[in-house]
Amino acid sequence: MESSNIRLAVIPGDGIGTEVVAEGLKVLNAAGVKSETTEYDLGAKRYHATGQTLPDEVLDELRGYDAILLGAVGDPSVPPGVLERDLLLRLRFELDHYVNLRPVKLFPGVTTPLGEARPEDIDMIVVREGTEGPYAGAGGAMRRGTPHEIATQESLNTAYGVERVVRYAFEKALARPRRKLTLVHKTNVLTYAGDLWARTVDRLSMEFAEVETDYCHVDAASMFFITQPQRFDVIVTDNLFGDILTDIGAAVAGGIGLAASGNVNPARTAPSMFEPVHGSAPDIAGQGKADPTATILSVAMLLDHLGHAQASARVEQAVADDLIERQSAWTARSTREIGDDIAARVAG
Ligand code: NAI
Ligand code: MG
């Protein structure tokens, strides 16, 4: 697969999304993997100009690519929820991104708020379910705006949906040296959903005898991310718990400027989408201050997903080398300078 041409859809989005995506593409080119990119102007700008979030014909076109690279979408001028629900969540659901993959890895030389933690202490990967749970959009409201308002937001968990994400997590764990999988949930309170998740992990553990399994309540896991991050190798968890836990993960592993993610369709029935965890950062947009590293690491995940393991490893190594030098750097570099430096390392 190393020689094939990647057909890539690019959604730069809004704010710093456009700035960091330019650097991600620069590094992709430097990695020597041939790609053909097509840009899509989805996000706040298009919403204001046309009222559109994700037209059906654009969604259909997107299905035809090998992968999607997304910067970030959103702006304070767009009512909350519109782009999240009608664009981002819709892409995840329609393209069946049932794995939201978020590595939490402390690179050498990176400052962590956990003063004592060493890189070997923080090296995990969170496998967050991406299409079900409380994000499925099941629920409703009655008598809205009155004192008698009722609002429900149900968590949907299907045997099929839980099994496929748990299986993926076991396979990930099997491929890593520690071979440890931790289920994070709240089985003592969310007894119906928790029971399904726990039984699924138990059942699949028979097939993956080499993988050690563990369980942690989400509240305890939030604490252990900070006090004992070395407990974790691969984590599998539901959509909402994973969302929250990975923000803690981003914080302990050096901040939002470094956190990468993949919205993965492991069955490959539709393209997977790779994006930095951060948003469009309107507070620093247009100033060249955004760190493109999270996007560059997302490009490394994209390359790995498409079978370009060597190119992926080269990008990750270039980032690691760049991060080591950052600690002794005299001056802060611009978005473009960081992209140039990492691209030069990849090409070199
Ligand atoms: P944000 O992640 O955009 O910014 C949070 C803080 O982190 C800001 O102070 C920002 O300057 C800083 N920051 C973020 N990325 C950075 C980078 N690469 N380098 C240096 N500093 C960085 O989150 P916020 O402010 O809550 O949301 C802003 C907009 O982004 C909203 O419209 C929100 O809906 C949207 N958003 C979009 C996401 C996506 O497209 N997947 C994810 C999260 C938020
Ligand atoms: Mg989030």
pLDDT single digits (tens) 279-294: 999 999 999 999 999 9
Pocket test for ligand 1, best of 16, 256, 296, 334 (most atoms within 8 A of CB): 256
Q: How many domains does the chain have?
A: 2
CA distances 221 to 22, 129, 166, Å, are 36, 17, 18
What pLDDT is stored for residue 84 in this prediction?
87
Which of residues 205, 222, 253 is at a domain's end?
253
What pLDDT is stored for residue 2 in this prediction?
46
Closest Cα to residue 287, out of 332, 255, 324?
332
Residues tagged active-site? 135, 186, 219, 243, 247
Nearest atom in ligand 1 to the alpha carbon of residue 76 is: 32
* Spatial contact of 260 and 300, defined as CB atoms under 8 Å apart: yes
Residue 319: both structure tokens together: 């980032």
Mean pLDDT over residues 300-313, rounded? Answer: 97
**For residue 176, how many other CB atoms are within 10 A of its CB?**
15
User: 284: Cβ below 6 Å to ligand 1?
Assistant: yes
ipTM of the complex: 0.98
Which of residues 214, 238, 253 is at a domain's end?
253
Residues 249 and 141 in one domain: yes
Number of H helices, E strands in the chain: 12, 12
**Per-residue confidence at 116, pLDDT binned at 50, 70, 90?**
confident
Closest protein CA for atom 1 of ligand 1: 279
Residue 329 has pLDDT above 50, yes or no: yes
pLDDT over 70 for what percent of the chain?
99
pLDDT tens readout for residues 53-69: 999 999 999 999 999 99
User: 88: Cβ below 6 Å to ligand 1?
Assistant: yes
Query: Residue 22 domain-assigned?
Result: yes
Which of residues 253, 279, 299 is at a domain's end?
253
**Per-residue confidence at 1, pLDDT binned at 50, 70, 90?**
very low
Strand partners, 320: none
The residues, any chain, with a CB within 8 Å of residue 18's CB and separated by 6 or more, are: 12, 71
Query: Residue 45 domain-assigned?
Result: yes
Element (DSSP H or E) covering residue 62:
helix 56-62
What pLDDT is stored for residue 11 in this prediction?
97
Residues 71 and 10 in one domain: yes
pLDDT tens readout for residues 208-222: 999 999 999 999 999
Arithmetic mean of pLDDT over the chain: 96
Q: Letter for the amino acid at 312? A: S
75 or 331, greater pLDDT: 75
Find the 207 Cα to ligand 2 centroid distance in Å: 32
135 vs 142: CA distance, rounded Å: 19
* Degrees, nearest 5: CA angle 175-236-177: 25
Residue 231: both structure tokens together: 């407990």
Query: Residue 127 domain-assigned?
Result: no
User: 256: Cβ below 6 Å to ligand 1?
Assistant: yes
User: 291: Cβ below 6 Å to ligand 1?
Assistant: yes
**For residue 192, how many other CB atoms are within 10 A of its CB?**
9
User: 281: Cβ below 6 Å to ligand 1?
Assistant: yes
Pocket test for ligand 1, best of 278, 289, 323, 338 (most atoms within 8 A of CB): 278
Query: Residue 125 domain-assigned?
Result: no
pLDDT tens readout for residues 22-57: 999 999 999 999 999 999 999 998 999 999 999 999
User: 42: Cβ below 6 Å to ligand 1?
Assistant: no
85 or 296, greater pLDDT: 296
Pocket test for ligand 1, best of 45, 280, 291, 326 (most atoms within 8 A of CB): 280
- Looking at the CA of 284, which ligand is closest? 1
Q: Which domain holds residue 243?
A: 112-118+136-253
* Spatial contact of 178 and 121, defined as CB atoms under 8 Å apart: no
